[in-house]
Structure 1
Amino acid sequence: MKMLIVYTYPNHGSLNYAFLQNVIRGSKTNPNVKELKVLDLYDEGFNPLLVFNEHKRRRDIHTDPELEKYRQQISWADKIVFIYPIWWGRPPAMLLGYIDQLFASSFAYKDKKGLFPEGLLKGKSVICISTMKGPTHYPFLWLNNAHKMLMKRALFHFVGIKKVKFFEFGNMESPKGKQMKKLEKIYRYFKRLD
């Protein structure tokens, strides 16, 4: 398995970074993980802003040379792991900007006759690890599961990725948030992942 981790948090002293380290640590002891790459969007200086003008057209974004290495990373990976906080009920703007630019027509999907396009990323799988200040069930009970619907149905299923797993960790700013137990859960999961 070739695994790409897309990490989206601006502070390496954070709990999100500890989750990243546990994903890496677990994956390195897993014989099923043959290759591992990490894309830290903040360290990379990734520009999340869409620019469309007379020189850059939306319909050509799938060939934008500035995004080629990121397209190659997605094409290369069998499994993509996203690590990010949930802010205002959704992933941060940095990650959404990455998604807007990389999961583009003619790369991630192709329009065809009918209601739905053809997903071009079939065969890949995704794991989303997200943290939030509020309770774990807040997105489900208060926001009608908007985060999972956005990521799973509106994005991943649209581009042909059917296997999507979520770890949503709530109460992460609370002293009773069981942070160490949750970090250990992620380490064990990636150690056994196949």
Structure 2
Amino acid sequence: MSHLIVFAHPHEESFNHAILDAAVGALKGKGQEVVVRDLYKLGFNPVLSSGDTAAMRAGNTPEDIKTEQDYVRQAETISFIYPIWWTGLPAVIKGYVDRVFSYGFAYAYNAQGAIDKLLTGKRGLLVSTYGTPEEYYRASGMLESLKQTSDQGIFDFCGIQPVDHLLFGGVTSVDDAARKAMLKQVETSFSSL
């Protein structure tokens, strides 16, 4: 089974990187093929340009986009691991979605004007961290909003079945025992795929 992990955090010593390591270890422990696309290490350009859209309309997808689309196409499961910044995706992963999950590749409109979900048959798992205490995000409705915009607004919109979205709050202020429990939850979720 092929599992693509799209990772977005600029610091190697981050808790997000520990999450990535736990996810990869759990998947490889189950014999799965894992491909990690670390957007910061790749220097991925997140800006969808007029040149990109013109090239794609002409059937000449830019090489960096085509490379990522090939990874998405080959994957049976796609995971995003990223921090929540200003209640949303970091720019680099938002730009990945903008450029890679493009019209004609991830979705299209059919003759009836409805949406054709072109990535149907794939599963998706998201892991997001945020520094704000979980109680605040839960009470404000932010947790459900984050799930709606990412799980449904990105994955489900393209036909990827969201199987889980782990949201870990207060990661900058909780103790090591809490972080270890979070990593155990990551291992359990990725092992069960």
What is the CA-CA distance between 1:113 and the residue it aligns to?
A: 3.7
Question: TM-score, normalized by length of structure 1?
Answer: 0.89
Give the percent of matched residue pairs that are identical in Structure 1 and Structure 2.
31
Query: What pairs with 1:67-78 in structure 2 (closer than 5 Å)?
Result: 67-78=65-76
Q: Of the candidates 81, 84, 89, which is equivalent to residue 83 of structure 1?
A: 81
Say if 1:152 and 1:175 are closer, same or farther in 2 by CA, change over 3 A: closer
Which portions of structure 1, spanning 4 or more consecutive aligned residues, are displaced by more than 6 angstroms? none
Corresponding position of 1:136: 134
The C-alpha deviation readout for 1:104-138, integer Å capped at 9, x for no partner, is 11100111144531000000011000100012254
SS at match of 2:167: strand
Query: What pairs with 1:72-111 in structure 2 (closer than 5 Å)?
Result: 72-111=70-109
SS at match of 1:123: coil
Larger deviation: 109-118 or 21-30? 109-118
Indicate conservation of the 8 Å contact 1:4/1:36, yes or no.
yes
Say whether residues 1:186 and 2:172 are aligned partners.
Answer: no
The residue type equivalent to 1:174 in the other structure is: S
Corresponding position of 1:26: 26
The residue type equivalent to 2:9 in the other structure is: Y
Say if 1:60 and 1:130 are closer, same or farther in 2 by CA, change over 3 A: farther
Say if 1:129 and 1:117 are closer, same or farther in 2 by CA, change over 3 A: same
Corresponding position of 2:42: 44
Indicate conservation of the 8 Å contact 1:7/1:83, yes or no.
yes
Gaps of 5+ in 1: none
User: What is the aligned residue count?
Assistant: 191
Say if 1:153 and 1:114 are closer, same or farther in 2 by CA, change over 3 A: farther
Corresponding position of 2:146: 147
Larger deviation: 151-160 or 13-22? 151-160
Aligned equivalents of 1:51, 1:64: Cα separation in 2 = 11
Say if 1:138 and 1:99 are closer, same or farther in 2 by CA, change over 3 A: farther
Indicate the RMSD between aligned Cα atoms, in angstroms: 2.2
Aligned equivalents of 1:123, 1:10: Cα separation in 2 = 31
Greater per-residue helix proportion: 2
Question: TM-score, normalized by length of structure 2?
Answer: 0.90
Say if 1:106 and 1:96 are closer, same or farther in 2 by CA, change over 3 A: same
Indicate conservation of the 8 Å contact 1:52/1:58, yes or no.
no
Gaps of 5+ in 2: none
Indicate conservation of the 8 Å contact 2:151/2:165, yes or no.
no
The C-alpha deviation readout for 1:38-73, integer Å capped at 9, x for no partner, is 100000000001111599456458722231110100
Indicate conservation of the 8 Å contact 1:130/1:168, yes or no.
yes
